[in-house]
Structure 1
Amino acid sequence: MPAPHVAGGYEITVRRGQFWVPGERVRTEYGTVQRAPLFVQWEAPPGEAHPVPLVLVHGGGGQGTDWTGTPDGRPGWATRFVEAGFAVYVVDRCGHGRSPYHPDVVGPMGAPFPYEAARALFLPDEVNDAQTQWTYGPEHLDQLLCPMGPLPADLAESQRLDADRLGRLLDIVGEAVLVTHSAGGPIGWLTADARPEKVVAITAIEPMGPAFAQFPGLGALTWGLTSTEITYDPPAGDPSEVTGRRIPALAGKPVAVVTGGASAFAAFAPQIVEFLAGAGARVRHLHLPDFGITGNGHGLIFEANSDETVKPVVDWILATIR
């Protein structure tokens, strides 16, 4: 196998950079520190890009590298989006990756992400025969786990922080399409709530759900599809009042829910679609087998056929923004 620097596989662009969305300044016994900044890496085609950029929001204990590469070293979806003509902004959610975490400032950490949980989520034994696009060996499972860290123990506060920073990111970059994965899904709904005029559309890849689900050891989607409060109309003073109410920020908003054919998330995706439709979104379920793309599990953004799984998403976004 050739060394990574000679393997090739994607076009090198000349327009890329990075910055942070700062967190709040807080006083501690150590002095004044910053709480939960958000790291942003961006890349754009060498020439003119589509007028609406994409903001890529990773899931669970991952980081922005979920979008930039695959466990076997191929280019990730971020590169394929750039090749399709989009400018992309890839974030490390608060407390993940290059967004620093100190529990004295951000809050207590949840449990570390173990191999057993990774296998249960990304390659469960019960769908081994159907999940034909997980062709990786043990060394690739190591690569999958290396960037995964703990989530903040307070899931609602974690989502609130992420949505606040992403809203301020949109204040900088302007209108954008949000592309979320897994536990990044709630961040998409909350960011739209914070900046409805800046979110053109949302593509939710294997989003966390269904509505009001409980996740032992992690938290609950108390407010429907989010753990922290989101705006309903008429206003909901309590989570028990949410059902049947609209979310003004999602009214008429184009939303795609994308699922893999061998993923357990596909089973409850119709419930997510129904909830979003009831909230007012213009939602569509993009189930990959309907596009002739089979064998994918929850990690469809970095499985062996990731160059194929991205294509229906690119097509949907292009059709939406035109």
Structure 2
Amino acid sequence: MGRLKKPLIIEEQGSFTVGGEVIREPGTYDESHALSGAGQEKHVDNGYVFYQVPVNAKKVSLVFLHGAGQSGACFETTPDGREGFQTIFLRKGYPVYLLDQPRRGRAGASGVAGEVKPATDEALWFDIFRFGHYPKYFDHVQIPHSKEAEEQFWQKGTPNTGAFDPKLSAHALSAAVDRAGPSVLVTHSQGGLPGWLAAMENKKVKAIIALEPGVGFVFPKEEAPAPLSSSSPFGPLAPYPVDKEAFLKLTEIPILMIFGDNIPEKPSPHGGQDNWRVRLEEARLMAETINRYGGQAEVLHLPDIGIYGNTHFLFEDRNNEQIADIMGKWLEKVL
């Protein structure tokens, strides 16, 4: 476990659900045939939010959205027992809201049919997360990888109970912001696209920090670049075209995208790394497009400022406090 720190005083905490809908089965409810579902309702496709507010809190909240295969739990505690971003940013004075997106984690009531099957895929994700080339870790990699830490990391993953729907997740994220008040979105990986979409629909979003956004880089429809080819097992990376009017809303807020280490500059036969070569390239293209229209988007590649060894899980890496300090200084500058 991590070393003890000064006690953290929480003024308020709780949980609530956001978004979702109610589906109804036609017919008349009959108590003697209750399992038929006839004449009954089901609340589905909502998100779940756990929040904490420290004493003397800042006026802007941080709303966190996880990536694929994860839930809000990934921001709580690192695999080796140190403080996660949840408490690190509480100590910096921010109210912190952790969202489990619809059809994931504590928000598992899906409005569409789904199948959860065990899949032996951890070697694939080991490579995609840039821990190394399975089973060997990169030298000086920042992710904790004792036997216990490995177990804690992999057991924290959780499946979809229904298909991932970025618009559904964006609506839940926007609803969380409505409850939190003026907010900065902190998104990770697959959560990047719902973050862009939520910011387009909610003026209470004051900034975005996207930690290694992995899918759904947005562009005006008429300016979307061609798909980027790579050796990634997920194939080419296609942009996410949106109406120009919606895209321009991203020019109204500061945006920071942060990427870690071991991302090649040229095409690589290692699909896990090449997966991020094209995503870093697409992030830069997106930032350039935002800035061309008067926005303030930045892409920070950590090795460019002398920080090495970071993986796809910047908030669980051994230097997560250093990464949080970078984010904190940026927030102080732009808010």
Using the size of structure 1 for normalisation, the TM-score is 0.81
Once the 2 structures are TM-superposed, how far is the Cα of residue 192 of structure 1 from its aligned partner?
Answer: 0.9
8 Å contact from structure 1 (residues 10, 75) kept in 2:
no
Residues 135-144 or 293-302, more deviating: 135-144
Once the 2 structures are TM-superposed, how far is the Cα of residue 149 of structure 1 from its aligned partner?
Answer: 2.1
Q: Which letter does structure 1 place at the counterpart of 2:94? A: F
Change (3 A) 1:142 1:204: same
Once the 2 structures are TM-superposed, how far is the Cα of residue 53 of structure 1 from its aligned partner?
Answer: 0.7
- Give a deviation string over 1:232-255, Cα, whole Å, max 9, x none: 34xxxxxxxxxxxx7122123211
Q: 2:51 aligns with which of 22, 34, 42?
A: 42
**Residue of structure 1 in register with 2:84 after alignment:** 76
**Residue of structure 1 in register with 2:15 after alignment:** 18
Aligned-partner Cα distance in 1 for 2:63–2:258: 16
Identity value in percent: 27
8 Å contact from structure 1 (residues 130, 262) kept in 2:
no
**Residue of structure 2 in register with 1:309 after alignment:** 323
Q: How does 1:112-151 map to 2 (within 5 A)?
A: 112=118, 114-122=121-129, 123-125=131-133, 128-151=137-160
8 Å contact from structure 2 (residues 43, 109) kept in 1:
no
**Residue of structure 2 in register with 1:202 after alignment:** 208
Once the 2 structures are TM-superposed, how far is the Cα of residue 273 of structure 1 from its aligned partner?
Answer: 2.3
Q: 1:159 aligns with which of 149, 166, 169?
A: 166
Once the 2 structures are TM-superposed, how far is the Cα of residue 120 of structure 1 from its aligned partner?
Answer: 1.8
Once the 2 structures are TM-superposed, how far is the Cα of residue 159 of structure 1 from its aligned partner?
Answer: 0.8
Say whether residues 1:288 and 2:288 are aligned partners. no
- Give a deviation string over 1:122-149, Cα, whole Å, max 9, x none: 2131783345212412332221122212
Say whether residues 1:176 and 2:183 are aligned partners. yes
Aligned-partner Cα distance in 1 for 2:178–2:91: 25
**Runs of 5+ consecutive residues of structure 2 not aligned to the other structure:** 26-35, 218-226, 264-272
Once the 2 structures are TM-superposed, how far is the Cα of residue 50 of structure 1 from its aligned partner?
Answer: 1.6
Aligned-partner Cα distance in 2 for 1:266–1:81: 29
Aligned length: 295
Larger radius of gyration: 2
**Runs of 5+ consecutive residues of structure 1 not aligned to the other structure:** 234-245
Change (3 A) 1:109 1:258: farther
8 Å contact from structure 2 (residues 229, 278) kept in 1:
no
Q: 1:232 aligns with which of 232, 244, 263?
A: 244
State the secondary structure of the residue aligned to 2:160. Answer: coil
Aligned-partner Cα distance in 1 for 2:72–2:48: 9
Once the 2 structures are TM-superposed, how far is the Cα of residue 266 of structure 1 from its aligned partner?
Answer: 5.8
Q: Which letter does structure 2 place at the counterpart of 1:253? A: I
- Give a deviation string over 1:232-285, Cα, whole Å, max 9, x none: 34xxxxxxxxxxxx7122123211010112254366324312223314441111
